Amino acid sequence: MSPNSDAQAERLLVDAAKAGDQAALSELYQTYFPRLYRYILARTGNSYDAEDLTEEVFMRVLQAIKRFEHRKAPFSAWLFRIAHNAVISQRRKETARGRSSQLNDGMQVDTAGPEELAEKHVALSEVMQAAKTLPDAQRQVISLRFAAGLTVAETARAMGKGEGNVKVIQHKAIAKLREMMGQPKKQPKPRVYAKSGKA
């Protein structure tokens, strides 16, 4: 499916969800739940907060979806702005309470065995600890690009910035994370590479 037809399909889905169609809402939930959860986890560094805030964001979506307009922003940008605002308001509450967040056991990691689970947990904790020290815009780009899996264009719309700016922020953030974490201990998981003509 081409990006255009994907966008068109999502438009129809969102319109149906706006009209209250349960199946469309369920599909939107299925599409965005894992991405939203990972984004919030990356921003808060705490799985319990990530669960609560993901739930809260979906409830806010139900309240606001009637007012959503395609011409203003793509659905993903709109959704992750709601999530960003929820994270900011949670952070304010935490600052007032003097609470610090940490990665905890409530989170599930896809692994083959206990050793790999421990390794992944440490690796993820390390990434999130390092990400916490980044300036907010850099942390947001890392969360949107690598945790939520948004494209640069979608990230730019969600942050209200230009794509060129997002690329520079992303570059700085990766360089800083690399500095803090050192070289990754393991090579990234092998991916399936298509034999495309374009190298």
Partner 1 sequence: MRRVEKLSEILEECVEAGLTGRRSIEASLALYPAHAEDLGPLLRTALSISDNFQSCGPSAAVEQRIRSRFLADAAARRSLRHLESSFEKRGWLSGLRRAVFSGFASAAAVVSNLVAITVGRVSLGGSD
The answer to whether 158 contacts partner 1 (rule: CB under 8 A) is no
Phi, psi of 70 (to 5 degrees): -60, -35
- What residues between 12 and 71 interact with partner 1 by CB under 8 A? 20, 22, 25-26, 29, 33-34, 37-38, 41-42, 47, 50-51, 54-55, 58-59, 62
Report the 3 state secondary structure along 22-78: HHHHHHHHHHHHHHHHHHHHHHHCCHHHHHHHHHHHHHHHHHHHHHCCCCCCCHHHH
Nearest-approach distance from CB 154 to partner 1, in angstroms: 12
Instruction: Please choose, out of 7-15, 77-85, 94-102, 171-179, the segment that lies near partner 1 by the rule CB under 8 A.
Output: 171-179
Q: 9 or 59, CB closer to partner 1? A: 59
The answer to whether 95 contacts partner 1 (rule: CB under 8 A) is no
Q: Concatenate the DSSP letters of all residues of 120-144 into one string.
A: HHHHHHHHHHHHHTS-HHHHHHHII
Tell me the longest C-alpha to C-alpha distance in the chain: 55
DSSP character at residue 190: P
Note whether 166 and 155 are within 8 A (CB): yes
The answer to whether 124 contacts partner 1 (rule: CB under 8 A) is yes
* The amino acid at 52: D
Judged by CB under 8 A, the residue of 2, 4, 5, 108 near partner 1 is 108
Q: What is the binding site for partner 1 (CB under 8 A)?
A: 20, 22, 25-26, 29, 33-34, 37-38, 41-42, 47, 50-51, 54-55, 58-59, 62, 106-111, 120, 123-124, 127, 142, 145-147, 149, 151-152, 164, 167-168, 170-171, 174-175, 177-178, 181, 183-184, 186-189, 191-194, 196, 198-199
